[in-house]
């Protein structure tokens, strides 16, 4: 069976064939088949059938109308209930107050990304969804956070977007691992400019696993780079340094926004039937099955040739994959939506930065395990075919959507649900961590001295 955007199986026969054809038409020919032409085509087919065989058409309508007391209440009640639940969620979210915190980096920290993994582990909390009554009737949803890496005119900064009620939790988690850090509330940079203005150009993208491998396969993490231990500065290889240098290389007027929207992972991606640990165990069992040696023998009693599966005998590569999956699913998991926007006034816009934007996560990619690449969403939906969007209206709509959803930090609920990944705290800490003092990006400011309260026992 095919899988939809969130991994659930579809019961519709041959749907995977249709999906493959639509995907090929989009990527290979710039053909976007939207819902509107499908609906119009269905209505046209009904009208044509009415002219071709009016009697049979009326019989079909009469039969459907006769059975309406059976199917119509089910449809109306079901969708009315779903809309009511959505309205409760919207009302509950509207009551929340959100703030943006700027992380001012310490100058001489030598902490490894393991410290950031501890921060994410401390945020692995999902209050509010403990009962079905809270979820359905009170509209409660578990909190989500947005960890952001931003370059404005080449100056790189780190931010955290959170509910105001979780500010103390955020601050205590960071101060525990980075005592020299400063955390201040600041104005939302994404609302100071409008990248969709006609004087500006922009490019928005979202990132997911392009390999199609299950989320249980990890990307290349800081452990693979040897950053799980403190080493000499000249021996450290931090893949985040390349991302920071790329962001820091933009010129005046240009802006690069990157956000990691996270929440505690549950079972939504798999339709509530299983979680990513179950998927990881299934993948391990699949590898073990592939490694079994099949032997044949002839049954002396019947003369039939029978096959017998021996014990698993995995290759070194299969052992490495099993080990990587086991290590990954042993960690706490988050749903992670990744979105980026590059924008600048038309005179300052550099088309080459789009390539840099789309390839910013290549240092974390692994051909053996998993990778991150642009999804077919937002600006990346369009491949510059002359016929796919002649007036540019669809692309402009996608740009408005990208900016609006970035500002809302929306990824998991209406009005927008993106293609999120499930990642362990180890993977997340690899993609977003406080770089050590060995990363000397000149446009990334660090505080020159730490501040603290006066000792309590000073004489007065």
Q: What is the DSSP secondary-structure string of 420-436?
A: -EEEEHHHHHHHS----
207: closest CA among 411, 366, 416, 434? 411
Tell me what the mean pLDDT of segment 160-189 comes to.
94
**Mean pLDDT across the chain:** 83
Q: Which residues contact 80 (CB under 8 A, 6 or more apart)?
A: none
Residues recorded for the chain: 460
- Number of helices (H) and strands (E) in the chain: give both, helices first: 13, 14
State which H helix or E strand residue 334 sits in. Answer: strand 333-345
- Residue % of the chain over a pLDDT of 90: 40
Q: Are the beta carbons of 349 and 252 closer than 8 angstroms?
A: no
Tell me what the mean pLDDT of segment 80-90 comes to.
86
| Residue-level pLDDT at 13 | 44
Token pair recorded at residue 408 = 């809302």
Residue with tokens 């601050």: 171
425: closest CA among 179, 242, 222? 222
Q: Are the beta carbons of 178 and 118 closer than 8 angstroms?
A: no
Residue with tokens 């960890």: 147
435: closest CA among 169, 157, 208? 157
State how far the Cα of 28 lies from the Cα of 385, in Å rounded to an integer: 10
The pLDDT-based confidence of 164 (bands split at 50, 70, 90) is very high
pLDDT in tens, 361-412: 999 998 889 999 998 878 777 766 666 667 777 788 888 999 999 999 999 8
Side-chain-side CA neighbours of 110 within 13 Å: the count stands at: 7
The pLDDT-based confidence of 3 (bands split at 50, 70, 90) is very low
**pTM of the predicted model, to two decimals?**
0.80
| Residue-level pLDDT at 187 | 95
| Residue-level pLDDT at 25 | 52
For the cut 60, the answer to whether the pLDDT of residue 22 exceeds it is no
pLDDT in tens, 146-155: 999 999 999 9
State how far the Cα of 122 lies from the Cα of 177, in Å rounded to an integer: 11
Is the domain 100-272+331-447 a CATH 3.40.462 member? yes
Higher pLDDT, 146 or 95: 146
The pLDDT-based confidence of 21 (bands split at 50, 70, 90) is low
Domain chopping of the chain, boundaries: 100-272+331-447, 276-318
DSSP H stretches of helix in 291-441: 316-329, 352-358, 393-408, 425-431
| Residue-level pLDDT at 453 | 53
Tell me what the mean pLDDT of segment 279-285 comes to.
91
State how far the Cα of 33 lies from the Cα of 265, in Å rounded to an integer: 32
Q: Which residues pair with 412 in a beta bridge?
A: 417
State how far the Cα of 330 lies from the Cα of 315, in Å rounded to an integer: 23
415: closest CA among 403, 429, 405? 405
State how far the Cα of 181 lies from the Cα of 166, in Å rounded to an integer: 18
Side-chain-side CA neighbours of 323 within 13 Å: the count stands at: 9
For the cut 60, the answer to whether the pLDDT of residue 9 exceeds it is no
Higher pLDDT, 431 or 24: 431
23: closest CA among 2, 41, 40? 2
Q: Is the dihedral of CA 57, 59, 62, 67 positive or negative?
A: negative
Beta strands, E only, 270-319: 292-298, 305-312
Collapsed DSSP state (helix, strand, coil) of residue 167: helix
Token pair recorded at residue 133 = 């009554």
Residue with tokens 């107050």: 97
Q: Which residues pair with 416 in a beta bridge?
A: 413
């Amino acid at each position: 069976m095919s899988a939809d955007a969130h991994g659930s199986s579809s019961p519709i026969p041959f749907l995977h064939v249709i999906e493959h054809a639509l995907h090929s038409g989009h990527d290979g020919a710039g053909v976007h088949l939207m819902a509107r032409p499908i609906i119009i085509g269905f209505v046209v087919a009904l009208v044509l059938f009415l002219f071709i065989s009016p009697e049979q058409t009326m019989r079909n309508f009469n039969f459907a109308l006769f059975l309406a007391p059976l199917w119509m209440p089910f449809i109306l009640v079901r969708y009315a209930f779903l809309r009511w639940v959505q309205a409760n969620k919207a009302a509950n979210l509207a009551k929340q107050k959100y703030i943006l915190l700027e992380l001012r980096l310490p100058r001489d920290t030598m902490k490894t990304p393991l410290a950031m993994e501890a921060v994410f582990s401390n945020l692995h909390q999902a209050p509010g969804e403990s009962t079905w009554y809270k979820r359905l009737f009170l509209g409660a949803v578990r909190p989500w956070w947005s960890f952001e890496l931003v370059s404005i005119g080449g100056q790189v900064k780190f931010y955290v977007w959170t509910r105001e009620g979780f500010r103390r939790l955020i601050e205590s988690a960071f101060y525990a691992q980075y005592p020299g850090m400063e955390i201040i509330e600041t104005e939302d940079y994404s609302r100071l400019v409008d990248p969709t203005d006609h004087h500006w150009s922009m490019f928005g993208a979202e990132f997911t696993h392009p390999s199609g491998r299950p989320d249980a396969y990890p990307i290349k993490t800081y452990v693979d780079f040897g950053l799980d231990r403190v080493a000499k500065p000249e021996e450290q290889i931090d893949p985040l340094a390349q991302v920071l240098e790329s962001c820091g290389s933009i010129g005046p007027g240009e802006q690069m926004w990157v956000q990691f929207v996270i929440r505690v992972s549950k079972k939504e991606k798999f339709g509530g039937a299983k979680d990513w640990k179950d998927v990881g165990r299934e993948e391990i069992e699949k590898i073990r099955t592939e490694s079994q040696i099949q032997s044949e023998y002839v049954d002396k009693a019947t003369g039939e040739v029978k096959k017998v599966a021996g014990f698993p005998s995995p290759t070194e590569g299969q052992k490495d994959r099993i080990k990587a999956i086991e290590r990954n699913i042993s960690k706490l998991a988050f749903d992670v939506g990744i979105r980026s926007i590059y924008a600048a006034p038309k005179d300052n816009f550099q088309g080459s930065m789009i390539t840099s934007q789309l390839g910013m996560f290549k240092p974390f990619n692994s051909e053996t395990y998993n990778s991150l690449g642009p999804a077919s969403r937002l600006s990346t939906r369009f491949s510059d075919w002359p016929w796919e969007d002649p007036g540019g209206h669809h692309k402009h709509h996608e740009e408005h959507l990208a900016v609006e959803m970035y500002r809302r930090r929306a990824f998991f609920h209406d009005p927008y649900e993106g293609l999120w990944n499930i990642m362990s705290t180890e993977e997340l800490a690899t993609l977003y961590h406080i770089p050590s003092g060995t990363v000397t990006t000149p446009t990334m400011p660090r505080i020159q001295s730490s501040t603290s309260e006066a000792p309590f026992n000073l004489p007065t």
